[in-house]
Amino acid sequence: MENNEGSLTGKLELIAVKTFKNYDEMYKVVNFLNNTLKDKKLIFGLTKDSANGTVTISIYES
């Protein structure tokens, strides 16, 4: 995958993963964390598992 912007050079390192009961507005929390901590080279991901009713937050260092 080519990255012409140069903002993410190299690989992402997975720091932590945590699964919670589904919370409909969790994406707002993840968006807030990404916007607030981008200068610290942290990226937060969110995965929703509708079958199990859970969401998983992943934290990466770029």
* pTM of the complete model: 0.77
Name which of 39, 41, 44, 31 is nearest 10 in CA terms. 41
pLDDT of residue 6: 44
pLDDT of residue 10: 73
Query: DSSP readout, 17-31?
Result: EEEEE--TTHHHHHH
pLDDT, tens digit (0-9, with 9 covering 90-100), for 3-49: 444 455 579 999 999 999 998 999 999 999 999 999 999 999 999 99
∠7-57-1 over CA atoms, to 5°? Answer: 35
Q: Is the pLDDT of residue 1 over 70?
A: no
pLDDT of residue 3: 40
Let me know how long the chain is: 62
pLDDT of residue 5: 42
Q: Listing from the earlier edge strand, what are the strands of the sheet with 42-49?
A: 13-21, 54-61, 42-49
